Amino acid sequence: MTSPIYANSQDCEAEFYRAFEAADLTAMMAVWAEDDDIVCVHPGGPRLAGIEAVRESWRQIFAGGPGLRVRLSQPLITSTLQTAIHTLHENLSVPGDTRQHAPMIATNIYLRTRRGWRMQLHHASPAQGQPSSSVAGGNEPSPRLH
């Protein structure tokens, strides 16, 4: 199978979140750089380094199948010819769940490679004290997050 070529970091990021919502491990791993220098930190989790550790973490997250919806907000993008840094809010929800959840703050770093743009790092953590504007409701615990 040939890996897709992402023309810019925004296309790579869009595919990352599409794969996340679809719980598609193959598509998720296609956005990552193909070397052992990749790093992923899920909310409240340890630093995972290397392709195998990152793949296994997403496999476990996706084991329950699709279910989370992600609405992105407040993006800030800094880029050069070879690197792009995206910081944004991930507003997560579960269809049918009306509870209000605090957004995650994510930092995604992309590298321009010979095979297009690829994710080098994804780090997400809870945005303390900032209610999400994407869903209405009470202050119940967050859904199972990435």
Residue 94 has a pLDDT of 85
Is 143 domain-assigned? no
Instruction: Give the CATH number, domain containing residue 57.
Output: 3.10.450.50
Over its C-alpha atoms, the chain yields an Rg (Å, rounded) of: 15
Give tens-digit pLDDT for 50-92: 999 999 999 999 998 888 899 999 999 999 999 999 999 999 9
Domain tally, the chain: 1
> What is the span of the domain harbouring residue 86?
9-126
Average pLDDT over residues 20-43: 96
Residue 142 vs residues 35, 40, 123: alpha-carbon distances, Å: 33, 20, 18
Is 96 domain-assigned? yes
Is 25 domain-assigned? yes
Is 101 domain-assigned? yes
Is 3 domain-assigned? no
Which residue reads 């119940």 in tokens?
140
Give tens-digit pLDDT for 131-145: 444 333 333 334 445
DSSP codes joined into one string, 3-58: PP--SSHHHHHHHHHHHHHHT-HHHHHHTB-SSTT-EEE-TT--EEESHHHHHHHH
Beta strands 104-113 and 116-126 are antiparallel
Is 144 domain-assigned? no
Is 141 domain-assigned? no
